Amino acid sequence: MPVFCTLDPRFIDCLKFCYAVGTYLFLHMRSRKPHVAVVFGGDSPNRDLSAETGYWACQYIPRNRYQVTPVQVTAAGHWQVPLGSLPVSGSVRPVLRELFRAVPAVPPADGLARLLGRQVDVLFTVLRGRGGDDGTMHALGTLLGIPVAGPTPSACHETCNKATCAERLRDVISSPAAIRAGADADVLVEEVRASFVPPLFIKPAVSEGSAGIEEVTTFDELSAAISRAKSIDSALVQPRSRGQEVAVSVFRGPRGKVHVLPPTVIVPRQARYYDHMAKRRGGRVSLLTSRPEKNELLNEVEDIAHEVFTELGGEGLLTLDLAIGPKSTELLEVNSVPTATELTPLLHQLRAGGTSPAHLLDTLLARALERGPL
């Protein structure tokens, strides 16, 4: 005769509760949108461009597909981390302004702990200065097992120093000759006099967005310009390239496909070159962007950009600054952190290529999630 066991009603209620909670969590995890942390700002002279780019990313990341948490790093290096995500629709600018008036700025360790109070699925960083261009934030993502929608940490580290970048890529593309500033300024001036003819560029070896770059047209200006550059970082002296400056951006999307955006020709107008102020004040240069099939030379630039991108690990988004001369093309700089404002090339390239900001950002995030941590 079968024996039936009578279960305690409280135990049955407990099983029902556990089943309901498990079902909710399962469905929630299946439907949960990936959580993106967008990091911007920093202690660099270009923190204004970084903040503008961070706002741009927060606006155009498809918020119907991703949860977006903005993280602002102040000029003092403190983090402002809201606890929630941005609204699914609408303009983010007024929301961000109010958020960062209210959210406290805390030391980086506390800010990171605050951010990681929720699962972060992917990191998108446009941080400039300390921890930004040198790949530290990208390496932090790797350390924490969080995919980063950007280049590899090593690519950032190798390209943030102009001299190191030129050496790293010398088998792919040449760079303008350069003399590194030593401790003795008088010796350097004599070395430059013996090697170069003005006009010359004096550049901090580690800087971004043309910060600290000066053009000198006589040797008499050289010593003071070197001193100013060395106050930022070690300095480089280069002859001004005779070629036409061109910027070209490359990125990798899902399934490994590489995309090259139409190149931008930078034409000086009120400024002698694409200087720090030209990225902030209209009319100093013109940014001319067209489809490369209209220009054989620009088509060649795309091939160079693809090769450099691949050499540097082929991940994320890179922008190359090139000088195209009558007989050769030289690499001026590689930017591993994008800048997206109307006075910088990227937005012009997206429009010329028929690529929306939302598509670019979705592509970068999807690639990072597909690839996983670097």
Residues 88, 340, 293, 172, CA torsion sign: negative
Radius of gyration for the chain, computed over Cα atoms and rounded to the nearest angstrom: 25
Protein fold of 179-239: Dna Ligase; domain 1 (3.30.1490)
pLDDT in tens, the chain (374 residues): 444 445 556 655 555 454 444 433 333 444 589 999 999 999 988 999 999 999 999 999 999 999 999 999 999 999 999 999 999 999 999 999 999 999 999 999 999 999 999 999 999 999 998 889 999 999 999 999 999 999 999 999 999 998 999 999 999 999 999 988 765 667 788 888 899 999 999 888 877 667 778 999 998 888 888 888 777 667 888 999 888 999 999 999 998 999 999 999 999 999 999 998 999 999 999 999 987 666 677 778 989 999 999 999 999 999 999 999 888 899 999 999 999 999 999 999 999 999 999 999 999 999 999 999 98
The first and second tokens of residue 295, run together, are 């220009």
Q: Residue 349: which of 308, 292, 296, 307 has the closest Cα?
A: 292
Residues in the chain: 374
Q: What is the pTM of this model?
A: 0.88
Pinpoint the residues of the chain covered by CATH 3.30.1490.20.
Answer: 179-239
- Torsions phi, psi of 267, nearest 5? -110, 115
Burial class for 331, CB neighbours closer than 10 Å (0-12, 13-18, 19+)? buried
Fold of 241-356: D-amino Acid Aminotransferase; Chain A, domain 1 (3.30.470)
Q: Please, where in the chain does CATH 3.30.470.20 lie?
A: 241-356
